[in-house]
Amino acid sequence: MSIDSPRLHPDIPEGAAVPRVPTWYVDRTAARERFGDAVDSFGPFLMRGDPPADELVAVLNELRPAQANRMLQQALDEGIASVRRPPRAFVQFFRQIDEIPLWLDWDKLDRGGRAVLRTGPLGAVVLACYSLPLSYASPDGSKPLTASGRLVQRASRRLTETARFLVETCRPGGLRRGAEGFKITIRVRLMHAQVRRLLLQRKSWPYERWGIPVNQAYMAGTNVLFSSVLIEGLSKLGYEVPQAERDDIVQLWRYGGLLSGVDSTICAATEAEGLRLIRIIHAVMDPPDDDSRALVKALMEAPLELAKNPAQKAVAQRLVDLLYGLSRHLVGEDLANALAYPRTSWRHIAPVLRGMNMMMNSFQRRVPESRDTLYRFGLEAWERVIENGLAGIPAAFDFRKATVGDQGGPTHAP
């Protein structure tokens, strides 16, 4: 699904001297010892954005906002053919996302989605305590999120929006043309492109040094957080996803990744590829910096944001301690220390949770019908999280529902 573009980005002048890799990406000796040539293959993805989305966003910025939204909405709802005289960038973008890869098996995707939703609150915990901290730990990846300062705030809302994105993607047929998961994925892709554009227009974003914001490496790494990394995190807490469903989950997010603009050459096609990718990212990246720590702190302490009185605050503080404890268990001592996690006694809860989940595995194996009940329970739990988190204020990607006078701060997902 990759489309070659002669320009790195519409906001980088043609003919500008662009290095093959950002200047921080040198002397990755330790990483090279572990991953060999893959380190050299990985680097250039830090300098690549998402040309079809970047071109489309450049065009959307030229239109009146109402016109841009109308055209985009119509193309998403009814297809690009329904849009009267669409700009060329529209046609190219939608032609790309309308391509269905040969390997795609919708039944497999539906099974993968059900497997994720069945994890319910445990899946949400792994997402919050393992997947997202791994992503935020990268100084390279966290820079676009902290550039405005706004995204560090309202962490709970960001987490809820991510949950909404996940649930809509995992619903049966969620990524089919016109389904909500498909639309959210495309909108999030365009939001990423807009962030790229805004940051590249800033003089204070040295792309030669930092790489392209929200680059291919970052997007591919984020994509596997929902598949391979989620499966691994669940496993660390004793929850074993059946072998057959593991690949279903991976294929669901593989297609989601392609729709999100991840280049097929870096988009993980297997669970092992996903894990290898995240390991490479962690091997090559610099240690977490203050921005990473600020982002993770805001994420882990999100429950405190919602607490309104002292009693709620006390409960929220216990929950925060629990999340820190579980996250330390999942990400490991070294990364937890680098992220300045406080030490809490709750880290000992992990073995208990692990034991409970192993019992649950055995129950599911013995009573296969329980899976349907668990799916319904899991979906219900995810929806409850979303409903409470959004509190009636539309998510950032629900742009048509936002009205004048909204006080809620739509943010940025995933």
Partner 1 sequence: MLRDKLSFLGDQDIELLLRSSQRRHVVRGETIVREGQSPEAIFLVQEGFISVRAGGVTVGYFGAGQILGEISFLERRSASATVVAEGDAILNRIDNADLEALLSAHPDLAARFYRSLAVNLSRRVRALSGSLTKLRGQRSHKARYGQLSARHVPSSLIDGLTSVLREVQRVEESLAARRMAPDAAARVVASSCDRVVTLLEEHTTEKALLAISVDDLLTFRDISRLREGVGSFVFRICFALLMSSATIARLYDKPGGVAEDDGTRRAIADADAEGDGLIGPLVDRWFLDRAVCRARRDSRKAMVAEIVRRATEHAGPGSFLVTSIGSGGGDELLDAMDEAGEGVLAATCIDPDPDALRRGNHLASEAGHASAMTFLCAEPLSLSGSGSEIFLGPQHMVYALCFFDYLSDDDAVALLDWIWGHLAPSGTAVWTALGPDLTDLPMMEHLLEWAVVPRDAPAIRALVSRSRFGRAVEVQPLEGSSLHMVTCTRESAP
User: Does the footprint of partner 1 cover residue 364 (CB under 8 A)?
Assistant: no
CB pairs under 8 A, 24+ apart, for 6-12? 7/51, 8/47, 8/48, 8/49, 8/212, 9/49, 9/51, 9/54, 9/196, 9/197, 9/200, 9/212, 10/54, 10/55, 10/58, 10/197, 11/58, 11/197, 11/200, 11/201, 12/200, 12/207
**At 364, which amino acid appears?**
Q
The least CB distance from residue 127 to partner 1, in Å, is: 22
The least CB distance from residue 292 to partner 1, in Å, is: 18
User: Does the footprint of partner 1 cover residue 317 (CB under 8 A)?
Assistant: no
The least CB distance from residue 145 to partner 1, in Å, is: 9
Judged by CB, which is closer to partner 1: 120, or 141? 141
Query: Which residues fall within 8 angstroms of residue 82, CB to CB, at 6 or more apart?
Result: 74, 75
**CA–CA gap between residue 172 and residue 174 (Å, rounded):** 5
Burial of 198 (0-12, 13-18, 19+ CB in 10 A): middle
User: Does the footprint of partner 1 cover residue 198 (CB under 8 A)?
Assistant: yes
Residues 303 and 320: beta-carbon distance below 8 Å: yes
Residues 253 and 226: beta-carbon distance below 8 Å: yes
User: Does the footprint of partner 1 cover residue 318 (CB under 8 A)?
Assistant: no
CB pairs under 8 A, 24+ apart, for 265-270? 265/2, 266/42, 266/45, 266/216, 266/217, 266/220, 267/220, 267/223, 268/220, 268/223, 268/224, 268/227, 268/228
> Which residues inside 50-69 make contact with partner 1, applying CB under 8 A?
57, 60-61, 63-65, 68-69
End-to-end CA distance of the chain: give it in Å, rounded. 22
Judged by CB, which is closer to partner 1: 38, or 393? 393
Judged by CB, which is closer to partner 1: 310, or 405? 405
Closest CA to 320 of 351, 350, 336, 342: 342
User: Does the footprint of partner 1 cover residue 406 (CB under 8 A)?
Assistant: yes
User: Does the footprint of partner 1 cover residue 358 (CB under 8 A)?
Assistant: no
DSSP 342: P
Judged by CB, which is closer to partner 1: 33, or 406? 406
The least CB distance from residue 184 to partner 1, in Å, is: 11
Q: Which stretch binds partner 1 (CB under 8 A): 28-36, 347-355, 385-393, 403-411?
A: 403-411
Judged by CB, which is closer to partner 1: 85, or 203? 203
Q: Between 232 and 271, how does the x/- string for binding to partner 1 read (CB under 8 A)?
A: ----------------------------------------
Judged by CB, which is closer to partner 1: 132, or 331? 132
Q: Which residue has the tokens 């939204």?
A: 69
Residues in contact with partner 1, counted by CB under 8 A, come to a total of: 37
Q: Which stretch binds partner 1 (CB under 8 A): 77-85, 235-243, 319-327, 406-414?
A: 406-414
Of 109, 134, 167, 191, which lies in the binding site for partner 1, with binding defined by CB under 8 A? 191
The least CB distance from residue 64 to partner 1, in Å, is: 6
Query: Which residues fall within 8 angstroms of residue 100, CB to CB, at 6 or more apart?
Result: none
The least CB distance from residue 412 to partner 1, in Å, is: 6
User: Does the footprint of partner 1 cover residue 147 (CB under 8 A)?
Assistant: yes
Judged by CB, which is closer to partner 1: 132, or 322? 132
Judged by CB, which is closer to partner 1: 88, or 202? 202
Of 31, 122, 152, 195, which lies in the binding site for partner 1, with binding defined by CB under 8 A? 195
Cis omega (within 30 of 0) on the bond before 414? Answer: yes
> Which residues inside 148-167 make contact with partner 1, applying CB under 8 A?
148-151
Cα torsion 194, 200, 206, 211 to 10°: value is 50
Query: Which residues fall within 8 angstroms of residue 314, CB to CB, at 6 or more apart?
Result: none
**CA–CA gap between residue 50 and residue 39 (Å, rounded):** 21
The least CB distance from residue 78 to partner 1, in Å, is: 18
> Given the rule CB under 8 A, which residues bind partner 1?
57, 60-61, 63-65, 68-69, 72, 147-151, 187, 190-191, 194-195, 197-198, 201-204, 396-397, 399, 402-406, 409-412
